[in-house]
Amino acid sequence: MRCPYCHNPALVRGKGRGSVEQVMEFLEKRKGKLDGVVITGGEASVYPGLPDFIRDIKAMGFAVKIDTNGLRPDIIESFLDEGFLDYVALDYKSPPTKFQAVTGTDKYDKFSQTLDLLCAQDKVEFEMRTTVHTALMDEGDVGAIIKDLGKRGYSGIYYVQNYTADNDRPTLGMLENQERVLDIESLPKPKRFRLEFRNF
């Protein structure tokens, strides 16, 4: 994906720094002080060494949370089957009508498979979240997501994240601050899950 509000452009472009060995050395020193590890990105599920990496982290006694855009339902399914994950945060980038414009990819169907997979299981808690820049999406788009989550039987927390520019951290699309903030009061009120609003 190439979401213009992404705060990690270097990772998306494959310019991350550090090594697995450095991470494992760090975690070895934090045993008994940290409860868990969040694996994020860019998109963590594209890293080919991820299964072994998670196995090693779990063997050290840490819980594992993954942040994902959902484009690899096969990976998420295998990780759930293997018992690798303790928590999942799934980004619902936009409704299908704007998915390519917001993400730079036309793979909404892959995201949808991941969402259905997570909704159908009860082993691992997960949350949904959408980052909103009102130049890209409006209240109608977020309302469509809320309705879709309700139809799928989602019952967790849905975080709507208001984009805020950080001049010290340029985004992938060099986005400026929004001219207006999403009007959360106008959104439909979900019945089966909780809606929360926060800054991103």
- Per-residue model confidence (pLDDT) at position 15: 66
* DSSP conformational letter for 45: G
Among 104, 149, 100, 108, residue whose Cα is nearest residue 129? 149
> Average pLDDT of each block of 10 consecutive residues along the chain (200 residues)?
63 68 94 94 84 94 96 94 95 95 93 97 95 92 97 95 70 67 90 86
The domain locations on the chain are 9-199
Helices (H), the chain: 9-12, 20-29, 50-59, 73-82, 99-103, 108-120, 139-152
- Per-residue model confidence (pLDDT) at position 111: 96
- Per-residue model confidence (pLDDT) at position 46: 85
Q: Which CATH architecture has domain 9-199?
A: Alpha-Beta Barrel (3.20)
- Alpha-carbon distance 2 to 104, whole Å? 5
In whole angstroms, how large is the CA radius of gyration of the chain?
17
Amino acid at the residue 85: L
- Alpha-carbon distance 73 to 76, whole Å? 5
Amino acid at the residue 76: I
- Per-residue model confidence (pLDDT) at position 175: 67
Kindly report the pTM of this predicted structure: 0.89
* 142: number of Cβ within 10 Å: 25
Q: Is 19 helix (H, G, I), strand (E, B) or coil?
A: coil
**Sheet with 125-132, side-by-side order of all strands:** 36-39, 63-68, 87-91, 125-132, 157-162, 194-199
- Per-residue model confidence (pLDDT) at position 171: 58
Query: In angstroms, how far is CA 50 from the centroid of its own chain?
Result: 16
The secondary element (H helix, E strand) that includes residue 130 is strand 125-132
- Per-residue model confidence (pLDDT) at position 9: 54
- Per-residue model confidence (pLDDT) at position 169: 61
